A and B are shown apart, each in its own frame.
Chain A
């Protein structure tokens, strides 16, 4: 756990957010589907992730009562992410200012923040299911973008869409390899506990063996 004070993270989050708001950068990142989905949106999520470190422990503890095993943070983040995966949402976020505002507020606060708060509470199995579905979604979305003959977004070119599809498949593959490597060779201290003693053996006397004849 970092020893920096919460305000440190809040400041970095705010700085990142303001940088992303800057018209020049915003325009640049929204110029192509690839950069909006793979750069701008992940950075906005990161704003939320950083903000989570600034949340006071008391509030987090209160939230935990409604967030057993981190399920609800995950559900909320997933639902809002599904919303921003809709092509028309991305389109509208460029052309309609109210939608743009919604994007800039909802992605950090309703995706990044709840996810980061819930992650420590999530059990191995919840994380495992989440990661598998995340990888599967990258593959499915990449596949979708590669094969869809028309442009899904009115504001972006077809070549852009195809390139994004390829990148999504690559990212999914990298994620898969990373998870596999972590499981095979990693150190997962957060799950370590003293090895459980298997049910203790009763006294060996009277233990049944098969009656074996002498060999040969």
Chain B
């Protein structure tokens, strides 16, 4: 099999797989657009272009945060599944169960926010959910946490199935990660990078889920037995270990699309290497211990943990830059690459990830963090990663899949959708970064007059992003629902 074959036969989706995959993709796109609209509402409210009562603002903020993080996670788990199933046998029933549990959890979250009026942000930081000042009931907060637990169980089942499948082929997860080649030996050139990435995410996100399982249950107990008070700092640590891990896992699952698809569009194989194995092994450890960079403002934190957060934040950039981004760039350099939409999205994602690291590392410096962390610099940094990094990875796969069915190449809508998304995304993200640079605080429903400019510029950016996203999403959905046969005219049978 040629490594650069565009649509290998082992990626074809049989009927049942196609149904579940379509469910994932279409649900993800619908929810993403909805969450983007929530986000736009927030930016326009801040920019005083529309009037939104503050408690509704915070409900939207809570739903947007939880919805985006969860949905991006779901989307990238579909990316992981799509490619991993070529190398190991994954259970479709479990993949479908993950979806069902996610939907149940999402419904619980939406109900808690829009019916129960829970507005304690997606981070449910103790003791905020129980100090609602009569805005929401303890049951609403509990329902929110139950939603998270359901989603966590779904992902846990998905990762366990992936681990089992990899263990059956490679013996244990260490061999799936290629750890035996770290210090020497001949690396099997056919060892899939997808397996390395999937093993890393399965391990680390299971640990994150464990932290979530512990802290969510303890918070639930506190809601119903208030005499049982928790150490807020410990809860915050566990919450961020869980949350940081989950959102990073979506990047690490999403990048599988880059490893798998980029060589096909550049025509040049993207070989596995020892630096590659080292960077994933190192990232496995680093992603778990870097979470204190969310707690640099908590002066009660042990000094060593905060310092570790800064140092590891810096170090964590190395594997990204030196292996993935550099590897991607060298792969496409002078390769005669053509640029259909998937390829554009893949390279955009590399830019988003690499450039997005810069504000992250800046904010990951303790002295900077002390003045920047509560500003819009932070949403600037994570929207950079997510909007311009992870989401393009996911969209690239989606476009690649519909490309295998389409008879015609990119439509005009694609040619418009991508630049809209790109330009809108840059404007939107840089508005946040500029605002953060001006010390505009984050998570404020009501803004001072001097902050309105960046809010309004950001709103324009968001409108462009949503316009682009609508074009791209419509294209994807119609493409997916088209005739399922492998529509390659050169192939006799589907």
Q: How far is the CA of A125 from the CA of B153 in the complex (A)?
A: 11
Contacts between the two chains (Cβ within 8 Å), count: 137
Q: Is the CB of B160 within 8 A of A185?
A: no
A-contacting residues, B234-280, CB 8 Å:
234, 264-267
Q: Is the CB of A124 within 8 A of B203?
A: no
* B1-26 interface code vs A (CB 8 A; 1 in, 0 out): 11011111110100000000000000
Residues of A within 8 A of B206 (CB): 132
Number of interface residues of B (CB under 8 A): 59
Q: Is the CB of B210 within 8 A of A207?
A: no
Q: Is the CB of A202 within 8 A of B488?
A: no
Nearest CB in chain B: distance from A59 CB, A: 30
* A180-199 interface code vs B (CB 8 A; 1 in, 0 out): 10011111100111011011
Q: Is the CB of B488 within 8 A of A187?
A: no
Residues of B within 8 A of A184 (CB): 172-174, 177, 179, 203
Q: Is B169 engaged at the interface, CB distance under 8 Å to the other chain?
A: yes
- Selecting from A21-29, A92-100, A109-117, A143-151, the interface stretch reads A143-151
Q: Is the CB of B173 within 8 A of A183?
A: yes
Closest to A213 in B: B336
Nearest CB in chain B: distance from A146 CB, A: 9
> With A195-B169, A210-B267 known to touch, is A215 a contact of B89 (CB < 8 Å)?
no
Using C-beta atoms within 8 Å of the partner chain, give the interface range for chain A: 35 or more
- Selecting from B100-108, B213-221, B304-312, B367-375, the interface stretch reads B213-221
Q: How far is the CA of A144 from the CA of B231 in the complex (A)?
A: 11
Q: Is the CB of B156 within 8 A of A129?
A: yes
Q: Is the CB of B2 within 8 A of A209?
A: yes
Q: Is the CB of A140 within 8 A of B217?
A: yes
Q: Is the CB of A129 within 8 A of B157?
A: yes
- From A136, A180, A183, A206, contact of B217 by CB (8 A): A136
Closest to B158 in A: A125
> With A176-B210, A212-B335 known to touch, is A193 a contact of B163 (CB < 8 Å)?
no
Residues of B within 8 A of A204 (CB): 1-2, 5
Which residue of B2, B266, B336 has the most chain A CB atoms within 10 A of its CB atom?
B336
Q: Is the CB of A183 within 8 A of B336?
A: no
Q: Is the CB of B10 within 8 A of A208?
A: no
Q: Is the CB of B334 within 8 A of A201?
A: no
Closest to B174 in A: A184
Nearest CB in chain A: distance from B77 CB, A: 16
Q: How far is the CA of A197 from the CA of B171 in the complex (A)?
A: 16
The 6 closest A-B pairs by CB, nearest first: A206-B490, A128-B160, A212-B267, A213-B336, A124-B164, A184-B174
Question: Knowing that A208-B490, A209-B267 are A-B contacts, what are 20 other residue pairs whose CB atoms are under 8 Å apart, sorted by A's residue number?
Answer: A125-B94, A129-B153, A129-B157, A132-B210, A136-B210, A143-B214, A147-B230, A186-B172, A187-B171, A188-B171, A188-B172, A198-B87, A204-B5, A208-B5, A209-B2, A209-B4, A210-B6, A211-B338, A212-B267, A214-B336
Chain B: residues with CB nearer than 8 A to chain A? 1-2, 4-10, 12, 86-89, 94, 153, 156-157, 160-161, 163-164, 167-169, 171-174, 177, 179, 203, 206-207, 209-210, 213-214, 217-218, 221, 228-231, 234, 264-267, 334-338, 340, 488, 490-491
Could you write out 30 A-B pairs with CB less than 8 Å apart?
Answer: A128-B163, A128-B164, A133-B213, A135-B210, A136-B217, A139-B214, A140-B217, A140-B218, A143-B214, A144-B221, A147-B229, A147-B231, A176-B207, A176-B210, A180-B207, A183-B163, A183-B172, A184-B174, A184-B179, A195-B168, A196-B88, A196-B169, A201-B8, A206-B488, A207-B2, A210-B265, A210-B267, A212-B266, A214-B336, A215-B336
